[in-house]
Amino acid sequence: MENNTARSIPTGKVTMLGLSYCLYSKGARLYLEKRNVDFVYIDVNSLQGRDRDEAEDVLARFSPQGELPLTVLGDGSVRIVGYDRKKLQEALGLMPVRPACPASGDETEDPLSVRRVALDKLHALLDRFPAVQNVASHVSNMAGEVRTHIGNVANEVKNNLPKDENDDTPLGLF
């Protein structure tokens, strides 16, 4: 995998356009990396000037709605818009990945699935151990009380600071 600009889609290669902050772009990129697919990754939000214009041209040509990630195979005859594992598997001839949870069918590489499985496990543990759930609830309540107390102390300090004679702004804060 290499980072590149959007000058052209190399023939015979896999090229992915994505955004660094997009979960779906990250998921698709991780999916290809884990399967050792040789591909060019173009981070659209880091491009400027001519490179940005060329990336927008590629998007307009292959993804008229501008949806990302966009994976283009070869000359552009095969393109996959969004993060669709099944389409990537079919287009690249990849074997399906063993699911993290056979009952759910979620794959471990999908960031949203990993989070969902972790939350399900946490809730299952809390259900099995009510005492832990009570402690967690108590800690959460205490944290709220501490935040309230800190806010009250901050307001008291602000109200007791000497004031500027002209605009009633506390001295020393601004």
Residues 36 and 71 occupy one common structural domain: yes
- pTM here? 0.50
Helices then strands, counting H and E runs in the chain, come out as 5, 7
Radius of gyration of the chain (CA): 26
Same domain, 83 and 152: no
Worst-scoring range by mean pLDDT, 47-56, 70-79, 108-117? 108-117
Is 10's pLDDT higher than 50? no
Per the listing, tokens 């759910």 go with 104
Asked whether residue 6 carries a pLDDT value surpassing 50, the answer given is no
Q: Based on the fold, state whether residues 125 and 49 are members of the same structural domain.
A: no
Number of independent structural domains in the chain: 2
In a domain, 109, yes or no: no
Residue 25 lies in a domain: yes
Mean pLDDT, residues 131-140: 74
Domain residues for 149?
A: 114-160
Report the C-alpha gap between 79 and 92 in whole angstroms. 11
Alpha carbon distances (Å) from 134 to 62, 85, 121, 148: 53, 40, 17, 21
